[in-house]
Amino acid sequence: MAWREEGWGWGWRPYVPVAQRRAQGLREMDRLRKKGVNVKPVKIEGREIARTFWGRAWCEHLEKFSDFANRLPRGRTYVRNGSVCHLEIRERRIEAKVSGSELYDVEISIKTLAPAKWKSLKKRCAGRVGSLLELIQGKLSDQVMALVTHRSEGVFPQPREISLECSCPDYADMCKHVAAVLYGVGARLDTKPELLFLLRNVDPSELVGMNAARAMVAKASGRKGRVLEGEDLTAVFGIDVAGSGNGAAKSPGRRKRAVR
């Protein structure tokens, strides 16, 4: 039996071939499914981990930081060979299960985007984001996307805003299982980029300007030139507008978070 070192200074453990690890992981996931867990594996096709704007931008952002750059490569092989058996993104939290010598639990906490930073980003993007769909698809101008993905002022988290935990014996903050999950997030953003905003606990529709919102609904309704009233915007975008409804005054500029 082949042996290899597991972790940093934790001794040697038997080497488990990739095919055996995957089979073991699949069995564990089947058990979870039978218990009612909605298992969400990360599947990579080909060598490219992320293919779309948001997925690539996430990976490139993390690779820019020296704290992560030296550790992340350890996870590329793991995520490519299907070792990330389950990955779920929630508000401020990423939960995953990664198949290694055993099935390990990974938990990554992400702080909410600072209110001051979010307010500043909305101000700088004012009037420049035409629709939520274009934002989610990464089809805005290069200038706007550069603002949203800025290294320090955009929506991506900084290393100090990320807490990493793994149940494996490697005492390093970023083991290969955590690194695989971080790359897995990039792959998941390929198909569900809106999860990035959920993770940072902000509402992406707030980046869409009010004038753009009116234009979008007027175009969709086919009533050219119609001016939308406050109740119309509230119904479509979940935005409270002063003076809407039964004439009761509401605080100017106050917004109600849209239902996700």
pLDDT computed for residue 89 by the predictor:
97
pTM assigned to the model: 0.73
pLDDT at 238 over 90: no
Average pLDDT rounded to a whole number, residues 173-179: 92
* Cβ atoms 139, 52 nearer than 8 A: no
Return the amino acid letter for 85: C
Q: Bigger pLDDT: 163 or 46?
A: 163
pLDDT computed for residue 205 by the predictor:
87
- Confidence band (pLDDT; 50, 70, 90) for 171? confident
Q: What is the largest CA-CA distance in the chain?
A: 78
Tokens 């990320």 locate to: 162
pLDDT at 248 over 70: no
Q: Which long-range contacts (CB under 8 A, 24 or more apart) does 72-75 make?
A: 72/174, 72/179, 72/182, 72/183, 73/179, 74/175, 74/176, 74/179, 75/176, 75/177, 75/178, 75/179, 75/180, 75/181, 75/182, 75/183
Q: Give the distance from CA 120 to its chain's centroid.
A: 21
Tokens 């909305």 locate to: 122
pLDDT computed for residue 92 by the predictor:
96
Residue 218 is inside which H or E element, if any? helix 210-221
Q: pLDDT tens for residues 87-138?
A: 999 999 999 999 988 889 999 999 999 999 999 999 888 888 877 888 888 8
pLDDT at 240 over 80: no
Q: Bigger pLDDT: 216 or 24?
A: 24
- Within 13 Å, how many C-alpha atoms sit on residue 171's CB side? 4
Q: Bigger pLDDT: 56 or 250?
A: 56
Strand partners, 135: none
pLDDT computed for residue 25 by the predictor:
77
Query: What are the residues whose beta carbons fall under 8 Å from the beta carbon of 249, sequence distance 6 or more?
Result: 242, 243
Query: What are the residues whose beta carbons fall under 8 Å from the beta carbon of 35, sequence distance 6 or more?
Result: none
Q: Bigger pLDDT: 145 or 183?
A: 183
Angle at 115 between CA 212 and CA 229, to 5 degrees: 30
pLDDT at 41 over 70: yes
pLDDT computed for residue 184 by the predictor:
97
- Confidence band (pLDDT; 50, 70, 90) for 45? confident
pLDDT computed for residue 105 by the predictor:
95
pLDDT computed for residue 14 by the predictor:
59
- Confidence band (pLDDT; 50, 70, 90) for 258? very low
pLDDT computed for residue 208 by the predictor:
84
* Cβ atoms 167, 158 nearer than 8 A: no
Average pLDDT rounded to a whole number, residues 36-65: 91
Return the amino acid letter for 77: T
Return the amino acid letter for 116: A
Q: Rounded to 10 degrees, what is the CA torsion of 91, 163, 29, 14?
A: 170
Measure CA of the first residue to CA of the last residue in the chain; give whole Å: 51
